Structure 1
């Protein structure tokens, strides 16, 4: 989550490169606000005005708005000075979060594929609310040798990857060292494939993937006690990690949630 504050601004607002950006342009009668984003998924921006003296807005304030993927100049709102106002001013702040916080709803009956090739079964070593590291999450850990082919459990677009780490261990100290692929789904959720092998990512950011496409190779990076794949589906969380339970299409044709200790 990003949180920024701006005073009276008549020139474009610039943030760090490769980040969501809000900027303004002044006309003879209004100040127009726009957004741009380098990311391949929706973002939510929340705008509040701490000072709004003798000003009018084109939309109700405070405002929560959705930024489109790869937006270059998306109109957000316009403000203007009230007629005959001798003094005026404004002070605003905004924050943005990954995903659509307004309307995203997980398709609970969607039949996910098992996130690996079906040449052999793998034991679910830790399931939902597991005692080792899943105490508050709907996350799944599949035991498997390093180098196992990982496939997309659901179609979507790749929005983020990491594959440069060769570090891992059974301590939270390694939590940021895991390699991963993050995929944005059509319902606004995100599929996270974690603990991948160093240089084991087989997709690129911006790539559209189909269900069953190869996306990487399993590994043992990050907070990990043994080689495995960590998989979870996340909702946009306003800075929090919100996971949802998922159902899988199994070899016997059934669609159901997986059970810790079973092999699939």
Structure 2
């Protein structure tokens, strides 16, 4: 009987794969195969297993999406089909941050990530492909931008765990429309999605990796003075989904924001006055967190 084999495939978005997710396969009871994932981070990752060989093992298909929690956990069990016959398995895997399997408990409304009273202009962002003069316009949703007149603090738009911080990029360019080197802070949410808050002043972060933040908490200082559009902050919410049979990708989810003018998904450019209503701030808090918030306010 040949040994089973697990082959590491390229991780998406050029992340340091080996340091985040590692996989092991063990033979379980009754000849079953058990796949374990070790996640060295504090947030879950979605993994796509792509089976290249399954001998005498039962699977629902040639690939499977699973979730690796923090630490070591069993992510899949493949049962032996026929007793007293050899089993064998080969697979590759890829992974990205986030949990595809979690569901939202209801409609999520975001704070505009600026201090209360700020007057901002909200505008839906356009896909980068549209700046390259394509034959057809790419209408895929890629997030929202809020423009404002003066430098200010940037706050968390909803409850989340700080899952990534990239705040060391300094630009020497002017009149920018887009910059791949934008500073950002990323939050992981209980519904399995991630929100990226971009165009932040380098080195201005007020939070740490793994910290839980609540709507209205200051996370950084604003930037954008080197852009044609001036000071602004960009947001994009994303969640892992399967892209074909052997790939994972992030699907961008339209966000709804609360302002003095009401709730809007910012489908059209509009001027907005920022407010932080208690019902939005506390919407995703648990009982203990709400009690602490009420005591402080």
| TM-score calculated relative to the size of structure 1 | 0.76
Q: How many residues align?
A: 250
> Which protein has the bigger helix share?
2
After TM superposition, give the deviation of residue 120 of structure 1 in Å: 2.5
Query: Is the contact made by 2:23 and 2:38 (CA closer than 8 Å) also made in structure 1?
Result: yes
Match of 2:265 among 248, 253, 257: 257
1:40 aligns to what?
Answer: 42
Report the 3-state secondary structure (helix = DSSP H, G, I; strand = E; otherwise coil) of the residue aligned with 1:201: coil
2:211 aligns to what?
Answer: 207
Q: C-alpha separation between the residues in 2 aligned to 1:110 and 1:164? A: 31
Query: Is the contact made by 1:44 and 1:64 (CA closer than 8 Å) also made in structure 2?
Result: no
Query: Is the contact made by 1:157 and 1:206 (CA closer than 8 Å) also made in structure 2?
Result: yes
After TM superposition, give the deviation of residue 129 of structure 1 in Å: 4.2
After TM superposition, give the deviation of residue 220 of structure 1 in Å: 2.8
Give the alignment of 1:162-173 within 5 angstroms: 162-167=166-171, 170=176
Query: Is the contact made by 1:180 and 1:193 (CA closer than 8 Å) also made in structure 2?
Result: yes
After TM superposition, give the deviation of residue 113 of structure 1 in Å: 1.1
C-alpha deviations, 1:13-57, integer Å up to 9, x for none?
89944222211234685543201112333322222322223x334
C-alpha deviations, 1:185-220, integer Å up to 9, x for none?
222222210011100222112111111111111113
Change (3 A) 1:160 1:77: same
1:137 aligns to what?
Answer: 141
Query: Is the contact made by 1:48 and 1:61 (CA closer than 8 Å) also made in structure 2?
Result: no
Q: Which runs of no fewer than 5 residues in structure 2 stay unpaired?
A: 10-15, 133-137, 243-247, 274-297
2:132 is the alignment partner of 1:123: no
Query: Is the contact made by 2:51 and 2:63 (CA closer than 8 Å) also made in structure 1?
Result: no
> Which protein has the bigger strand share?
1
Change (3 A) 1:198 1:246: same
C-alpha deviations, 1:91-113, integer Å up to 9, x for none?
22222233233454694x32221
Q: C-alpha separation between the residues in 2 aligned to 1:97 and 1:190? A: 11
Q: C-alpha separation between the residues in 2 aligned to 1:72 and 1:222? A: 45
Q: C-alpha separation between the residues in 2 aligned to 1:156 and 1:217? A: 18
Query: Is the contact made by 1:47 and 1:92 (CA closer than 8 Å) also made in structure 2?
Result: yes
Report the 3-state secondary structure (helix = DSSP H, G, I; strand = E; otherwise coil) of the residue aligned with 1:236: strand
Query: Is the contact made by 1:111 and 1:249 (CA closer than 8 Å) also made in structure 2?
Result: yes
2:109 is the alignment partner of 1:111: yes
2:221 is the alignment partner of 1:217: yes
Give the alignment of 1:227-242 within 5 angstroms: 227-238=231-242, 239-242=248-251
1:192 aligns to what?
Answer: 196
